[in-house]
Amino acid sequence: MKTINVGEIIDNQKFNRFHLQLLICCMFIIICDGYDMFMLGTIIPTLMDEWGISPIEAGALSSYALIGMMLGALIFGPVADKIGRKNVIFLCTIIFSVFTFTSGFANGFALFAVQRFIAGLGLGGVMPNLVALITEYAPKKLRSTLVAIMFSGHALGGVVASVGAIYLIPNFGWRMVVWLAAVPLLLLPLLNKVLPESINFYVLRNQKDTLISVLSQIDPNTNYSKTDKYILNAEKSTGFPVKKLFSEHRALSTIMFWISFFMCLLVMYGLSTWLPKIMQGAGYPLGSSLTFLLTLNIGAVIGAITGGKLADRFGSRKVLISYFLLAFVSLLLLSFKPSMFLLYVLLMIAGGTTTGTQIITNAYVSQYYPSEIRSTGIGWALGIGRIGGIMGPTLVGILLSQQFSLQVNFLAFAIPCLVAVIAIWFVQEKYSQTYQVAKPNDQIGKIV
């Protein structure tokens, strides 16, 4: 009998078919999650006209979903650390798909808002567990890159929502945009066969048959046996996982992560909800305003993948500080109504350094905490961050109702980026579980 350290095997592997399969499955789910979240911004102008609701009420629609997302992240993160990530991912996907689909039958503000809240529970619960699952299986040198590529699917979902809305709303109405959210339900049986459970779940529960099958896919050149002893760097979690986020000198960094998530999600969801309406108010037609949202999300995809590569090479902290500073500058310049070409460039930069930055921050946090509290760490950071996400759409709704200038509206998005810079600056990397400055890796370009 030999002793096998499962964590070391995963850390030292090259990217192979198993990782690609896992990446595609997780990315598909996060695309659906992103579509579900961003499609609201595309239909809000239509809902305001059809239901006669005010900007404050329209902003509240987004906030109700974000309240659900906050609770979902806080609840399902710790639950997954106990019962397995795959089970929670599937449960949350069913919740957000079903209740978004049924919201398409709503005929008024109240019923639509209730269903957005329930869908938000699933949207918030699925994110931290997808990040944690990719982090567990990714080779160490590619960890930030793979998390960034996977989570860029969230912004890609926004691209799909924007493109779909441009065609569907004029031809079929806003309800068709909402009903498309049921698509992931059709593919759940296939995903169930392909998507693995957490490797820690298999080891800590001594499920050797499944563990050997998964390890053989990760490392096909080694023969694994039931007689071998399989160990992890992580210990089985006991007690209240949230308390451990503040132990072993992690308290300051945990609070700083929460502040940065709060600020970033305030900007991210405020922009995704109100950008079409803000640009429409600045004199652009609705079709062009939806194109601006599309540009923002394309920038987010590019920014996330590029940022993931840079983070693997130079470290996440340096990249995040640079990205947040770029976000501040680009949002400030957008307030001066630049030329059309410069407007698209700035929107792409803003998307890459707001939504893209959030994606890199997810990867950073997932590597900061040990495996046994990883979902809890990401889940609570996202959950606390959702408070900012809730305030973002509501704050901008108030600003629009007061008819403030374009400069004031964009300044409300720019200032939180500076606060996030300060928060990331104070993160204490020396207490991170897995942090090290990654060396350049020639596989990254091939994967991207």
Q: Which domains are delineated in the chain?
A: 3-447 (1.20.1250.20)
Q: Would you say 140 and 14 are in contact if contact means Cβ atoms under 8 Å apart?
A: no
Does this model's pTM top 0.85? My answer is no
Shortest CA distance to 170 belongs to which of 357, 43, 348, 34? 43
Instruction: Find where tokens 């023969």 sit.
Output: 223
Helices (H) and strands (E) in the chain, counts: 18, 2
CA R_g for the chain: 21
Lowest-confidence segment of 262-271, 275-284, 414-423 by average pLDDT: 275-284
Residues 272-283 pLDDT 10s: 777 777 777 767
**How much is the mean pLDDT over the chain?**
81
Q: In which band, very low, low, confident or very high, does the pLDDT at 447 lie, cut at 50, 70 and 90?
A: very low
For residue 130, what are the contacts with CB-CB under 8 A and spacing of at least 6?
Answer: 26, 29, 30, 89, 150, 151
Q: Give me the mean pLDDT over the 299-307 stretch.
A: 84
Cα–Cα distance, 315 to 354 (Å, whole number): 18
Cα–Cα distance, 336 to 32 (Å, whole number): 34
Instruction: Output the pLDDT for position 441.
Output: 41
Q: Give me the mean pLDDT over the 105-127 stretch.
A: 89
Supply φ then ψ for residue 71, to 5 degrees. Answer: -65, -40
CA-to-CA dists, residue 82 to 75, 88, 129, 250, 300, angstroms = 12, 10, 12, 21, 33
Buried b (16+ CB within 10 A) or exposed e, 189-222: eebeeebbbbbbbbbbeeebeebbebbeebbeee
Instruction: Output the pLDDT for position 119.
Output: 92
Element of type H or E holding 243: helix 241-244
218 in helix, strand or coil? Answer: helix
CA-to-CA dists, residue 402 to 277, 388, 395, 399, angstroms = 14, 21, 11, 5
Cα–Cα distance, 246 to 178 (Å, whole number): 40
Q: In which band, very low, low, confident or very high, does the pLDDT at 448 lie, cut at 50, 70 and 90?
A: very low
Q: Give me the mean pLDDT over the 225-239 stretch.
A: 64
Q: In which band, very low, low, confident or very high, does the pLDDT at 438 lie, cut at 50, 70 and 90?
A: very low
Residues 386-410 pLDDT 10s: 788 878 877 777 877 777 777 787 8
What type of residue is 284? Y
End-to-end, the C-alpha distance of the chain in Å comes to: 40
Q: In which band, very low, low, confident or very high, does the pLDDT at 356 lie, cut at 50, 70 and 90?
A: confident
Strands 3-5 and 229-231: parallel
Q: Would you say 267 and 413 are in contact if contact means Cβ atoms under 8 Å apart?
A: yes
192's tokens: 């169930």
Shortest CA distance to 157 belongs to which of 93, 95, 114? 93
Instruction: Output the pLDDT for position 373.
Output: 78
Instruction: Output the pLDDT for position 352.
Output: 87
Q: Cβ–Cβ contacts within 10 Å for residue 385, how many? A: 28
Instruction: Find where tokens 């949350």 sit.
Output: 92
Supply φ then ψ for residue 5, to 5 degrees. Answer: -85, 105
Instruction: Output the pLDDT for position 290.
Output: 67
Q: In which band, very low, low, confident or very high, does the pLDDT at 445 lie, cut at 50, 70 and 90?
A: very low
Shortest CA distance to 135 belongs to which of 322, 368, 319? 368
Lowest-confidence segment of 204-213, 244-253, 340-349 by average pLDDT: 204-213
User: What is the share, in percent, of the chain residues with pLDDT greater than 70?
Assistant: 92
Cα–Cα distance, 327 to 314 (Å, whole number): 19
Helix axis angle, 109-137 to 17-51, nearest 10°: 160
Nearest-5° angle of CA 239, CA 240, CA 246? 115
Cα–Cα distance, 112 to 57 (Å, whole number): 12
Cα–Cα distance, 243 to 413 (Å, whole number): 32
Residues 33-69 pLDDT 10s: 888 888 887 888 888 888 888 877 887 787 788 788 8
- Residue 104, pLDDT > 80, answer yes
Secondary-structure percent of the chain, ordered helix, strand, coil, rounded to 5: 80, 0, 20
Q: Would you say 274 and 327 are in contact if contact means Cβ atoms under 8 Å apart?
A: no
